[in-house]
Structure 1
Amino acid sequence: MAPNRLSFEQRKLILKWYWKSENVCDVQRQWRREFTTEPPTRLTIARIRDKFEAEGTVQNMHKNRSGRRRSSTGEENAALVLQAFTQSPQKSVRHTARETGTSRASVYRILKTAPKWKSFLPQLLHSLSEDDSRRRVEFCEWIQGKVNEDKQFVDKIVWSNEATFKLNGTVNRYNCVYRSLENPKSQVDKEDNVPGLTVWCGVSSKGIVGPFFFEGTATDAGYFNMLQSSIVPTIHQLYGDKKVYYQQDGAPPHFHSDIRDCLDTNFPGRWIGRTGNVDYPPLSPDLTPLDFYLWGNLKNTVYAKKPSTLQELRHEIEWSCTAIPALICPKVCRSVFRRCQQCLDAKGGQFEHAVYDSEQCDKPLFH
């Protein structure tokens, strides 16, 4: 390989050989005869020639270092770069370097050393239509109206959803926001047909309902059987004769007529969902505790144990649900009221990207 840095004498020799024939290949052959090492690349030879034509010298004037001149990161140049990003925060480093006449390496150094400047990745969100926003506003106004009538209203809602856990530890980014004390810095290869489990869970102020497991994927028949045999009896066991609201999203398995009849029978006038007594807005994972809180924390804990079989995976899911502190669930459920106000402030639009929750209920579930 060619040396990383060329001495001044070597650069003079290269220029001398080049002017004799004006042929880069001749220069490389002469180098091999002279030094018996791999010659500089064609690009390096061309740069030495261009430097001499532009500056009249091949001497490296910057810290006795040959190669590309390191551009300035002084205060004046740094201010110019930061001003460019202030005016256009989404501008690329390459574009900024070209616009300010600064090398890309210097732009990176300026951003790295500038106080309080950080790079942020956008959060992927579903685009909301005007009708989606309207339905979100209506739901949030309904929640707030109920809370104004009964301060304990959110304690009477059982929130529910399904999620899939894979043996390879892949997190479905649609279903949850991934939170952890530290960045796991993990990489997951995409694999097809990986074994996994589909899990139903409920979250209420009285604790976790479930988990209950589907045989294969979630279907309307499987969900109907689960409602009758597991979900409804467990909710009645938790709440007794108290009137409870049951929430589900608009997933296709939830829409079967038998399921709606079952909910009408067990939660008359008190179930939230697609065509339910109260409409649950689509594309709203930021308003249900399972999506904005439980699934991400649950997967963080389960995948940390690296289960290798479906039996181990199921055991870790069940154990992680029982390990949730009793005081967490009420705080998570009551945070829905605050989120509804944030949604209303955003006129039904997305709001999580602009809000940082520092309260206790947004800290990790597991200690």
Structure 2
Amino acid sequence: MIGYGDRARTQCEVVRLFRETHPDLPPLNQGTISKIEAQYREMAHVRKVPSKRQAVVDDDTKLNLLLALEENPITPARQLARDSNINHKTVLKVLKYEKKHPYKMQAVQELLEDDPDRRVEFCDLLMTCIDQNQLSLEWIVFSDVDTFTLNGHVEKYFYLVTTYRAWYNIEC
């Protein structure tokens, strides 16, 4: 449209002319016109340019990625990418295609053999306190305060509130 018709036009004039000619279409701005002009000067057309192709990973590289993941399943995808000298997103695409997922460590609670006994002991302690009028059930506030340590030990706490607003901590 810059050289369309009887004379050459500036980009601002092209924007105005487009808006007048096509009021039903979304308006163009000067930046869009500038990109279209640059593409025409570079490629001699204004057709849509196909996007970059996805990186092709050969079968040996895929196999090496999967073997490395099999050897150490907690290896992060970024580390696999660095070791294989390929893009991180390409590694993620390969793993997704192979129905593998990056490993994320999750802390889960494990029930141990002595857990039922500890629960009974805790209930006995509470019942004894209630029977001796040292504790009322309306004073108990249960919370999810846990302390996790690297060696796997988990400490759970229940907080007991008295009428004096003092906190008593019973470790379970």
Structure 1-normalised TM-score?
A: 0.23
Question: Which structure's relative contact order is higher, taking Cα pairs within 8 Å and 6+ residues apart?
Answer: 1
Structure 2-normalised TM-score?
A: 0.42
Bigger fraction of residues in helix: 1
Find the structure with the greater CA-based Rg.
Answer: 2
